[in-house]
Structure 1
Amino acid sequence: MKALVTGAYGFIGRHVARRLAETGYRVAGVGHGVWALGEWRRWGLEAWHGVDVTLDTLATYGGEPDVIIHCAGSGSVAYSMSHPRQDFERSVLTTLAVLEYQRLYVPAARLVVPSSAGVYGLAETLPIRVDAPRNPVSPYGTNKVIVEDMARSYARHFSLNVAAVRLFSIYGIGLRKQLLWDASLKFSRGEIDFAGTGEETRDWLHVEDAARLIGAAAQAAGRHCPVFNGGTGVATSNRTVLEILARALRPGLLPRFSGQARPGDPQHYQADIASTRDLAWSPSRDLPTEVAAYAEWYARGAE
């Protein structure tokens, strides 16, 4: 069995590639990023092509995969607020290229499109069910809605096997952006000020649990384009997470919050994963343990 991972250089993409390789797939990757042969092979890839994700490059380098995981694209609400056009291009246009590649060259393949909890926006009810209204509050979330709708359209109209996974807050050793990374930089400098109230909640899913889930979703892909929530079902406040991190990095420091939310940031997220568990999948990582491990990794020099 062969698999193609777009964006395999990225944080989620490389974990997905390694998970697929561990389960018996021969994995190729395409996307942006420059890394040594030994490095990408360590992450389970048999081939790596550092190119833009377009229909032409997919036709040239994609081969004939049985499974496609489209991890390429934008992953930042803040970036979408400052660079909306580029976010659209990275998220929407690359997904269109992948869907066209599947339609024209590998219609029997199973495709998973990682989406985001950002499609829900200001959720009215917690935990958030997959059939909850989509009401994004950022260009990032809006573009993910478009991605999902395109995936569903292609699956229905061209009889393709597609699934979408709405990932919540992904974390783990190696992630050099978002809250844990930014907070580690601050705490290492003795800084304690953060935006928000601290009572904002997120559903934190370890990247290795996310990779297992994406692999399971590939087997459920179909013409109805099923959608799954990628979370743990547990909401944790930003204050709690940052206090765990601070204790591990700089004992005695406590985070301080401005009381003012950042644009595009919803207040609360918690996934309903009842339908996700139907995939015979469940989260396995303990958040406090993994946040402390992240702090230890950062303290070693983030190698």
Structure 2
Amino acid sequence: MKQVLLTGSNGFIGRRLKEKLIELKYEVLELNSSNGDVTSIETLRTFNLEKIGHIFHLAAKTFVPESWMQPEEFYKVNTFGTLNILEICKEYNIDLTFISSYIYGQPKTMPISESSDICPNNPYAHSKYIAEQMCEFYSREFNVNVSIIRPFNIYGIGQNKKFLIPHIIDQALYSNEIKIKDLSPKRDYIYLEDVVDAILLTINNNKNYSVYNIGSGYSISVQQVIEVVLGILNIEKKVISEDSQRKNEMNDVVADITKANRELNWYPKYSFLDGIKKIIDREISN
């Protein structure tokens, strides 16, 4: 099997995953916002589906603050889009890798394992949880082989500057000061290359249904992110915090990644410092 379908191929993760798949000699068929609509099953049927051996489903709306303002769009794309993909997988016996999200809400214990309580606390996460439930149902009732990746906080080269880390780096490089909403929240940040490596490992996963947390296994606060960025640049800048929390903000999040270690033989290769250095180097070189 060398032909795969990649939805969301022009997105942050999809662009890099496409490059890696091509490097591995896969023929990549692409579905993205410029050539189709994942919420239309007729769009999917324009592909020669009988020749596709695997689908990587990344197409989604992802920015959490927007999900509070436009929940219907998030449910439409993230839920009904996934349903269409599952129908195609069922009909043509295609294995699926579904890219989900952090769906646990406020953690009761840490680190957070795949068996931890699930409590989505924003429309984006809830739409992904519904999509996961459909994946599980199709796996159980229609024998669709599904691997689910639950990445924690992804960062890397090419991420939109409305997300925290590129927003901080941009201000550190080009502004007189750094303005953020809150210094205290801690997150488990995982570098893009490590996420892509984990996704690729699922292509040979023979389990009928499996779910994997993908994170670093430790958390870093917004304050520490700023300190790392300024330290790499060897500069000092005034930091202004609004001390305002997002709706349903979580104070700390840490992933338990032992299942991915054990079943996929996946381990993060990039430290947070290494990842931030790579982003800054690329930004400066451009």
On whether the aligned pair clears a TM of 0.5, the verdict is yes
* Aligned with residue 58 of structure 1, among 39, 44, 55: 44
Letter aligned with residue 226 of structure 1: S
Deviation at 1:186, TM superposition (A): 2.9
> Contact (CA 8 Å) 1:247, 1:253: kept in 2 or not?
no
For residues 233 and 147 of structure 1, the distance between their equivalents in structure 2, rounded to whole angstroms, comes to 25
- Say yes or no: does 1:135 pair with 2:119: yes
For residues 124 and 281 of structure 1, the distance between their equivalents in structure 2, rounded to whole angstroms, comes to 26
Q: 1:22 to 1:134 in 2, by over 3 A?
A: same
For residues 73 and 48 of structure 2, the distance between their equivalents in structure 1, rounded to whole angstroms, comes to 24
* Aligned with residue 99 of structure 1, among 73, 86, 89: 86
Q: Quick check: 170-179 or 155-164, which moved more?
A: 170-179
Aligned to 1:169: 153
CA offsets 1:104-123 (integer angstroms, 9 cap, x no match): 2x21x210111111x10101
- Say yes or no: does 1:193 pair with 2:194: no
Identity of aligned residues (%): 28
Deviation at 1:193, TM superposition (A): 2.2
Aligned to 1:8: 9
Q: Quick check: 210-219 or 143-152, which moved more?
A: 210-219
Deviation at 1:87, TM superposition (A): 1.1
For residues 8 and 17 of structure 2, the distance between their equivalents in structure 1, rounded to whole angstroms, comes to 10
* Aligned with residue 70 of structure 2, among 83, 92, 95: 83
- 5 Å-filtered alignment, 1:142-161, equals 142-161=126-145
- Say yes or no: does 1:111 pair with 2:112: no
- Say yes or no: does 1:121 pair with 2:105: yes
Any idea what SS the aligned residue of 1:137 has?
A: coil
- Say yes or no: does 1:236 pair with 2:220: yes
Letter aligned with residue 127 of structure 1: P
For residues 20 and 264 of structure 1, the distance between their equivalents in structure 2, rounded to whole angstroms, comes to 37
Deviation at 1:77, TM superposition (A): 0.8
> Contact (CA 8 Å) 2:176, 2:238: kept in 1 or not?
no
For residues 148 and 56 of structure 1, the distance between their equivalents in structure 2, rounded to whole angstroms, comes to 22
> Contact (CA 8 Å) 2:96, 2:147: kept in 1 or not?
yes
Deviation at 1:23, TM superposition (A): 2.6
For residues 214 and 137 of structure 2, the distance between their equivalents in structure 1, rounded to whole angstroms, comes to 22
Letter aligned with residue 81 of structure 1: W
Letter aligned with residue 99 of structure 1: L
For residues 67 and 112 of structure 1, the distance between their equivalents in structure 2, rounded to whole angstroms, comes to 8
Q: 1:62 to 1:84 in 2, by over 3 A?
A: farther
Any idea what SS the aligned residue of 1:61 has?
A: coil
Q: 1:282 to 1:300 in 2, by over 3 A?
A: same
- Say yes or no: does 1:67 pair with 2:33: no
Letter aligned with residue 246 of structure 2: R
Any idea what SS the aligned residue of 2:154 has?
A: strand
> Contact (CA 8 Å) 2:188, 2:218: kept in 1 or not?
yes
Deviation at 1:249, TM superposition (A): 5.0
For residues 233 and 134 of structure 2, the distance between their equivalents in structure 1, rounded to whole angstroms, comes to 43
For residues 125 and 76 of structure 1, the distance between their equivalents in structure 2, rounded to whole angstroms, comes to 26
Q: 1:254 to 1:297 in 2, by over 3 A?
A: farther
Aligned to 1:296: 281
For residues 61 and 224 of structure 2, the distance between their equivalents in structure 1, rounded to whole angstroms, comes to 27
For residues 102 and 125 of structure 1, the distance between their equivalents in structure 2, rounded to whole angstroms, comes to 36
For residues 184 and 237 of structure 1, the distance between their equivalents in structure 2, rounded to whole angstroms, comes to 15
> Contact (CA 8 Å) 1:246, 1:254: kept in 2 or not?
no
- 5 Å-filtered alignment, 1:150-299, equals 150-177=134-161, 178-187=163-172, 188-196=174-182, 198-220=183-205, 222-223=207-208, 225-249=209-233, 251-278=235-262, 279-299=264-284
Deviation at 1:248, TM superposition (A): 4.0
Aligned to 2:23: 22
Letter aligned with residue 125 of structure 2: G
> Alignment length, in residue pairs?
280
For residues 32 and 221 of structure 1, the distance between their equivalents in structure 2, rounded to whole angstroms, comes to 31
For residues 222 and 58 of structure 1, the distance between their equivalents in structure 2, rounded to whole angstroms, comes to 25
Q: 1:244 to 1:5 in 2, by over 3 A?
A: same
